[in-house]
Every structure is written in structure tokens, then in C-alpha cells.
Amino acid sequence: MKRKRGLWAAALLLGSIIVLTNAFQVVVVDGDSMMPALHNGQIVLAVRASAGLRRGDIVLVRRNREILIKRIVYLPAQLLHPLDRPLFRHAAEYFEVGNTPDTLRVPPGRFVVMGDNRSNSDDSRRFGPVARRDIVGRVLGALPFP
């Protein structure tokens, strides 16, 4: 009887670990691109299958072999605000033309992401909007920074 309980407990523990590692991702912030919201070395927890992404969400983005932490600033099909258009002049070819030739629209299925520390961030201003499949998850929270 005790052996059955031990096997049951081990199976439950293993199953929980598998579910948790597939549902969540823990990442250490690397760099200052998300300051002041997140600091270099801070640990964040993200949920992998995150439907209903919204403007302002902090997300993990797969970029080549790296995982970047950025904030969503524009959703699919949104027009860029006229004051923001100059920020994306180096990545304008990644956007669609909006209602007029001088407006830019985010392509369907893509999100514009930026770091909070604009002067120190590699983001959509350089590499354009990211595909939904490249968004690994939405950040739920972070451990307090010491």
C-alpha cells in the first residue's frame, strides 16, 4: 500500500513538473532595455499559451536564437500614430501602407514591440513587427529587484 502511494506521489510530481514547464517559462532579464519596469538580472515568469494579447503587455519574443523581453505597443492592423511614424523609418518596409501613402499599418498577425528604455533597446524600430508565432509568452510578473 505504501509503495502504491509513493508511486502515485512520484507520478503526480512528475506530471505537475511537465505541465508547469509546458505552461510557464522563467527568464532572467538580460540588459537594460526594459528599465525602469524590469532590471538586468531580474527573474520574470511568463505564461506560454497567452491568448488575447493587448497593447501594453510585456511579452517574451523569439528573435533568432534569443528571447527578448519587450512591450506590445501596436496590435495587428492598427495604424501607427503620426508622431510614432518617424521612429520606424528604418523598418518602414515591414509595414503596410495605410489609408494614405504616409500612414503605416501593422500587418495582420504581427505585433509592434518596443523596450521601455527606448534609447537602449533592439526592437520593432529596427526589425519590424513580430509574428504572433514568435511571441513565446506573456509576462505575468517578476521577482522584486534587490
The torsion of the CA quartet 104, 66, 70, 25, rounded to 10 degrees, works out to 130
Residue 36 pLDDT > 80, yes or no? Answer: yes
- Rounded Cα–Cα distance for residues 11 and 23 (Å): 18
CATH superfamily placement of domain 24-142: Umud Fragment, subunit A (2.10.109.10)
Q: What confidence tier does 17 reach under pLDDT thresholds 50, 70, 90?
A: low
Report phi then psi at 72, rounded to 5.
-75, 125
Give the 3-state secondary structure of residue 2. Answer: helix
The predicted pLDDT at position 10 comes to 65
Q: Locate the domains of the chain by residue range.
A: 24-142
Given a contact cutoff of 8 angstroms between Cβ atoms, the answer to whether 41 and 28 are in contact is yes
The arithmetic mean of pLDDT across residues 35-47, rounded, is 94
pLDDT tens digit string along 92-130?
A: 999 998 888 788 999 999 999 999 999 999 999 999 999
